[in-house]
Amino acid sequence: MFLEPTSGDESPVPFTLPFLPTGDASANDFAQGRPTYRQETLRHILLGDYGAITDAISQLVALGYSDRIAWSDPIPSGRSGEYVAVMTRRRGMRS
């Protein structure tokens, strides 16, 4: 199943996957032709009456922009009668 190395064979080059940099990719990565990836984040925040928030979420779902499950449950904001709901969308970008 596995091949035994013979004398004179060089060690195989390990397989590497594209990496996710923690910061900005260095110019060396671009010069080497290695792909770099980063994520864009978009956060939608609905703030208002409970009914208005649930209606807005329903409209965004009907338009196909989001799934209902992607939204947090409306929670009180601390102001009288005001609620907040959040949805975060992420997409990978290759640079």
Q: What does pTM read for this prediction?
A: 0.56
What pLDDT shows up at residue 39? 78
SS (H, E, C) 19-77: ECCCCCCCHHHHHHCCCEEEEEEEEEEEEECHHHHHHHHHHHHHCCCCCHHHCCCCEEC
Q: Is the pLDDT of residue 51 over 70?
A: yes
